[in-house]
Amino acid sequence: MRYDESFDLVIVGSGAGSVPAALVAKSLGHSTLIIEKQPVFGGSTAYSGGVVWIPNSPLHGSGDSEDAGRKYLNALIGPDGRKASPPAKREMFLKEGPRAIRFLMQQGLKFILVFWPDYYTNAPGAHEYGRSLMCELFNINELDEWKDKVGSFYGFPPLPVNSWEFVNLTLAKRTLKGKAAALRLAARMLQDKLTGRRRVGSGNALQGRMLQAALRAQIPIRLSTALTELIVEGELVTGVKVLGPTGERCIQAKRGVLLNTGGFSHNLAMRQAYQPAPASVDWTMANPGDTGEAIQMAQKLGADIDLMREAWWTPGSLLPNGRYAGFHVPGESGKPHIIIVGKNGRRIGNEAGAYMEFGQKMFAAGAVPAYAILESRALAHYTWGPILKGAQIQPFIDTGYLKTGATLRELAERSGIDPNGLEAEIAKFNGFAEAGVDADFGRGSSVYNRVMGDPTVKPNPSLGKIEKAPFYAVTIWPMDVGTSGGLVTDEYARVLRTDGSAIRGLYAAGNATAPVVGASYPGAGASIGGSLTFGYVAARHALGDLP
């Protein structure tokens, strides 16, 4: 095979696992290249909250342990984990995740430990403070000519705020912490305006700092360059064929190819083939390059797949024009005076619980779409997506985003919900709110649930009656930030065939794979944590640094 150029490790895609892999290669004295088909860097990680979930990270000190992380994952995933998360892969994540964070910190990334409890804080091994890391706010102007080449999601304004701070911001009208968070944000915005800085948070902070580290290490990055073929010689993947600004090129990968290309969120045919009905590409907020071709290319080489029905579900709403209006579960739906029901008027699950599980329950209940029922106090006391103040309600009624009724029956009839079912459900829920115990779904029974609630409401900060008119309804869709099933990989991130053998020279990480957390979502940043860790692991194994 004749190649136009050669590198030791070729990395396809620029999500959370790519720069760690490239920095490992550089640190070991090997050549590497990152290619990205989009004209911007960062993949869906740049679109995201930018959170990294790593048990027993260096920032935890003695506050966490590998054994606790193991107990927690085993409790959520089960003893075998099937193809996506066998015990050996889980063990690699637990051991190498902290090392990957330490390595990146040595490379100049500035991580902070944030208060974000594990999503199942009643499970064995759960961490009540949380295992979620973020990067400090980043002045994106530091990237110079690359400053406008980091991808970003239109629904998240480029503000100097990190996603974990939104928990307090939703309570700006209710608590001192909420008011303080709002004042801090206003002060930062003023500071940046006066100084000319462009501080960003969340996924932009993480991927901005990743890009800065890669540029500092002089790692070549080629944007607008798409993978068109995996080159195979014998049974070994030896390179890639790409199409970019200079035309088609064949690039040799002497030690391996790493696919960190994302999933198939924007591929309707794949979603219809693998995911529960109704399937749509209109509800995903993943980056537009998330179209699944790399998964299909690996399948042609015999690669196995698993968990293709799953996505990182983030139930939320859309404006009448189809634009993003908000991810509501659980940061807003976990507040008092709000429930989510199906067309039958019955609740679907714990509105203050894990968002991925709630999306799964929507499909299981045939509740696509579902409906958030908001009492007057919910909009008076809290934010709801684009509605920041109660005075702003009328325009959203006029556009049809909000349905309203003077009674629950009237609201139900206008929204297409069974009136009898809704009235009965709310009568029962109001009893739960008065007693402070959700006998159906346990809302408010865990630390994570209560953090999503309102501490000024007693006896349960997650529960408040729905009884004061007017009442409102918002249509809720099973939105997602990426699919979460894909190629089966082993503990070294090698892509496996259906017979369990490894495809030599081919590695994968991130949403292109069946994830190490299986069909669960243990805490904020679990998808990014897995991607980052297995990008790091893949490079070390491909380059002989990991036995």
Report DSSP letters for 321-380, one per residue. Answer: TS-EEEE-TTTTTTSTTEEEE-TTS-B-S-TTS-HHHHHHHHHHTT-SSEEEEEEHHHHH
* pLDDT confidence of residue 363: 98
What integer is the mean pLDDT of 293-308? 98
> 323 exposed, middle or buried (CB, 10 Å; 0-12, 13-18, 19+)?
exposed
- Asked if the model's pLDDT at residue 389 lies above 90, the reply is no
Q: How far apart (Å, rounded) are the C-alpha atoms in residues 78 and 75?
A: 6
Helix, coil or strand: residue 32: strand
Note whether 335 and 452 are within 8 A (CB).
Answer: yes
Q: What share of the chain is helix, strand, coil (3-state, %, to 5)?
A: 35, 20, 45
Tokens read off for 528:
């990014």
What integer is the mean pLDDT of 405-427? 98
Range(s) within the chain of domains with CATH label 3.50.50.60: 1-158+198-313+481-547
Domain made up of 1-158+198-313+481-547: CATH architecture: 3-Layer(bba) Sandwich (3.50)
Q: Which residues contact 63 (CB under 8 A, 6 or more apart)?
A: 129
Q: How far apart (Å, rounded) are the C-alpha atoms in residues 494 and 331?
A: 37
Tokens read off for 34:
């990152």
Q: How far apart (Å, rounded) are the C-alpha atoms in residues 76 and 53?
A: 15
> How many helices (H) and strands (E) are present in the chain, helices listed first?
16, 23
* pLDDT confidence of residue 461: 98
Give, for 90, the enclosing helix (H) or strand (E).
Answer: helix 87-106
Note whether 366 and 346 are within 8 A (CB).
Answer: no
Q: How far apart (Å, rounded) are the C-alpha atoms in residues 130 and 123?
A: 13
Note whether 336 and 453 are within 8 A (CB).
Answer: yes
* pLDDT confidence of residue 43: 97
Q: Where does 358-493 show beta strands of DSSP type E?
A: 370-375, 403-405, 471-476, 480-483, 486-487
Tokens read off for 44:
């869906």
Q: How far apart (Å, rounded) are the C-alpha atoms in residues 518 and 306?
A: 9
Sign of torsion over alpha carbons 86, 87, 92, 98: positive
Q: How far apart (Å, rounded) are the C-alpha atoms in residues 396 and 182?
A: 24
Taking only the tens place, the pLDDT of each residue in 22-72 is 999 999 999 999 999 999 999 999 999 999 999 999 999 999 999 999 999
Cβ neighbours, 10 Å, residue 229:
15
Q: How far apart (Å, rounded) are the C-alpha atoms in residues 82 and 488?
A: 10
- Asked if the model's pLDDT at residue 500 lies above 90, the reply is yes
Distances (CA, A) of 344 to 61, 278, 279, 467: 49, 18, 21, 19
Angle between helices 18-27 and 526-542 (to 10 degrees): 30
Tokens read off for 37:
């088909």
Place of tokens 């994830």: 515
- Asked if the model's pLDDT at residue 81 lies above 90, the reply is no
* pLDDT confidence of residue 166: 86
Place 547 in a pLDDT band, splitting at 50, 70 and 90: confident
Note whether 485 and 511 are within 8 A (CB).
Answer: no
* pLDDT confidence of residue 158: 84
Which of the listed CATH numbers 3.50.50.60, 3.90.1490.10, 3.90.700.10, 3.40.50.300 matches domain 315-478?
A: 3.90.700.10
Note whether 325 and 318 are within 8 A (CB).
Answer: yes
* pLDDT confidence of residue 79: 76
Note whether 430 and 466 are within 8 A (CB).
Answer: yes
Q: How far apart (Å, rounded) are the C-alpha atoms in residues 334 and 352?
A: 4
Percentage of residues in the chain with pLDDT exceeding 90? 94
- Asked if the model's pLDDT at residue 80 lies above 80, the reply is no
- Residue 46 identity: A
Cβ neighbours, 10 Å, residue 225:
23
Range(s) within the chain of domains with CATH label 3.90.700.10: 315-478
Tell how far CA 292 is from the center of its chain. Answer: 17
